[in-house]
């Protein structure tokens, strides 16, 4: 994301904003990287070659998320392009179910016309959550499914893979009731604990009992969780030892994962038969000035390269993406159906080299301990909301989410007086916190 308030960039410090790694699956709405793929004839890389080049952890979910006014017009005006053949994959041996390798994320204000286009493109995986758009995402998906007869246990319903989630991990059965009502459904294909941080949850007897109860009642077929933050590897390793975790959706980002730790955890889950879904991995949505942008220089589509990278990892069954226009749907479908080329792989590596040190990893316990009066501020969340504001153009959404944080976690006076220079020194990734927290105070407060 271009930081219009920054000073002139240098090759070692590109002029871009720094945002949280806990981002939504969206791309920069101002990105100028939707270019024709100019690498025809370049050899594709195998997964083995990607691992050798450090690019399996570069698996990146696409994502072309936030729609501008022109995007919305295009959604209405653009004629449907011929659908590519959507690849399918088994979502882990514990489910044994084939799902589309591209999943439709529902964190936006879901438009049923776009959902219909996705189904036409061969997507059968619909992802939502009770917290998305205050429940409206579930309602919109429910209305669409009702119009196509995908309710109850009908044949149309059985063609789809429907997932929802809750942050209320200790009241799963109660929360599921509300979700099913909003979706107008009898059951979910999978129910997630949303955004877990406690690594004890995947092996908790209490959670195991709740999952078994929901399955026995016929309200869910499978159970799992999503994880977004700095302990993704720990959560994956905990799940590998759990008999009741069937599916995991996790942030999969090439900019700051160490390939050895992440790949070992992914391998453990894959061998255990757990279905793996990638999300929030288009950190490449951070764009660079043209003179430093390796995608721009090579005439490549950054978003398509990112989705091809994760699709090259055959351990990942599906890639969850927020897609708000027909064109985004088409580009993502084309990307997941094609192979990553050498030129794209090289551009991804170069992009990671230029920007990976600028991302908040979500490990804000490190910086908060040094921030003085800012020690109780939710730094990672604040930077994520700043990204929504600056990068996705979701200004009101970002401000609302910031306002919903506990008061001490968003105290503007504490942000103003916090020692963010000391916090910056404590950050293991050298994120420029002083500049960003001042920016967040002005834009979100």
> C-alpha angle with apex 159: 154 to 165, nearest 5 degrees?
95
Residue 118 clears pLDDT 60, i.e. is over it: yes
Mean pLDDT for the chain overall: 81
Please check whether residues 343 and 374 belong to one and the same domain. no
Residue 9 located in a structural domain: no
Comparing 26-30, 106-110, 177-181, 222-226, which segment has the lowest mean pLDDT? 26-30
- The CA–CA distances, whole Å, from 136 to 132, 139, 167, 182, 343 equal 7, 5, 16, 8, 41
Condensed to tens digits (0 to 9), the pLDDT of residues 267-293 reads 999 999 999 999 986 664 566 778 888
Please check whether residues 150 and 178 belong to one and the same domain. yes
Q: What mean pLDDT comes out for the span 101-112? A: 91
Give which of 278, 337, 254, 253 is closest to 103, Cα–Cα: 278
Residue 51 clears pLDDT 70, i.e. is over it: no
Please check whether residues 226 and 365 belong to one and the same domain. no
Please check whether residues 372 and 340 belong to one and the same domain. no
Residue 295 clears pLDDT 80, i.e. is over it: yes
Please check whether residues 183 and 232 belong to one and the same domain. yes
Residue 181 located in a structural domain: yes
Please check whether residues 406 and 341 belong to one and the same domain. no
Please check whether residues 65 and 163 belong to one and the same domain. yes
pLDDT band at 41 (very low <50, low <70, confident <90, very high): very low
Q: What is the 8-class DSSP label of residue 134?
A: G
Domain range holding 281? 47-354
Please check whether residues 257 and 371 belong to one and the same domain. no
Please check whether residues 406 and 257 belong to one and the same domain. no
pLDDT at 24: 31
For the full predicted model, state whether its pTM sits above 0.85. Answer: no
In the chain, the number of structural domains is: 2
Residue 177 located in a structural domain: yes
Residue 138 located in a structural domain: yes
Residue 1 located in a structural domain: no
First to last CA, the chain: 21
Comparing 30-44, 125-139, 219-233, which segment has the lowest mean pLDDT? 30-44
Please check whether residues 393 and 303 belong to one and the same domain. no
Residue 36 located in a structural domain: no
Q: What mean pLDDT comes out for the span 317-338? A: 91
Residue 68 located in a structural domain: yes
Question: The dihedral of CA 197, 200, 206, 209: what is its sign?
Answer: positive
Please check whether residues 299 and 434 belong to one and the same domain. no
* CATH assignment of the domain containing 151: 3.20.20.100
pLDDT at 171: 98
Please check whether residues 198 and 314 belong to one and the same domain. yes
Give which of 206, 195, 104 is closest to 145, Cα–Cα: 104
């Amino acid at each position: 994301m271009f930081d219009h308030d920054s000073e002139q960039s240098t090759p070692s410090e590109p002029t871009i904003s720094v945002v949280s790694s806990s981002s939504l699956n969206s791309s920069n709405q101002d990105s100028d990287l939707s270019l024709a793929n100019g690498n025809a004839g370049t050899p594709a890389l195998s997964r083995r070659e990607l691992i050798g080049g450090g690019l399996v952890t570069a698996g990146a979910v696409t994502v072309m998320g936030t729609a501008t006014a022109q995007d919305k017009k295009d959604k209405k005006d653009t004629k449907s392009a011929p659908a590519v053949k959507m690849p399918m994959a088994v979502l882990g041996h514990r489910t044994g179910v084939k799902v589309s390798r591209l999943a439709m994320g529902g964190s936006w204000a879901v438009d049923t016309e776009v959902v219909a286009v996705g189904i036409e493109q061969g997507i059968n995986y619909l992802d939502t959550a009770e917290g998305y758009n205050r429940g409206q995402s579930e309602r919109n998906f429910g209305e669409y499914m009702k119009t196509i007869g995908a309710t109850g246990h009908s044949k149309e319903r059985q063609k789809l893979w429907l997932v929802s989630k809750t942050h209320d991990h200790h009241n799963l059965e109660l929360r599921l009731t509300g979700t099913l009502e909003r979706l107008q459904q009898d059951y979910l294909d999978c129910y997630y604990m949303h955004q877990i941080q406690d690594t004890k949850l995947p092996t908790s007897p209490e959670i195991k009992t709740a999952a078994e109860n929901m399955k026995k009642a016929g309200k869910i077929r499978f159970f799992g969780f999503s994880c977004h933050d700095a302990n993704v590897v720990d959560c994956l390793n905990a799940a590998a030892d759990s008999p009741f975790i069937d599916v995991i959706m996790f942030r999969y980002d090439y900019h700051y994962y160490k390939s050895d730790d992440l790949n070992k955890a992914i391998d453990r889950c894959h061998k255990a038969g757990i279905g793996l879904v990638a999300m929030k991995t288009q950190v490449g949505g951070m764009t660079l000035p043209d003179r430093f942008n390796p995608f721009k220089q090579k005439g490549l589509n950054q978003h398509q390269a990112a989705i091809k990278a994760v699709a090259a990892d055959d351990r990942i069954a599906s890639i969850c993406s927020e897609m708000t226009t027909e064109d985004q749907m088409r580009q993502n479908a084309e990307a997941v159906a094609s192979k990553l080329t050498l030129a794209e792989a090289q551009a991804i590596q170069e992009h990671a080299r230029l920007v990976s040190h600028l991302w908040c990893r979500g490990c804000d316990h490190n910086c908060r301990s040094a921030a003085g009066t800012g020690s109780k501020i939710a730094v990672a969340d604040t930077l994520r909301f700043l990204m929504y504001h600056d990068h996705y153009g979701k200004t009101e959404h970002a401000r609302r989410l910031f306002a919903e944080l506990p008061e001490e976690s968003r105290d503007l006076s504490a942000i103003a007086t916090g020692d963010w220079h000391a916090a910056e020194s404590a950050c293991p990734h050298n994120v420029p916190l002083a500049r960003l927290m001042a920016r967040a105070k002005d834009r979100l407060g």
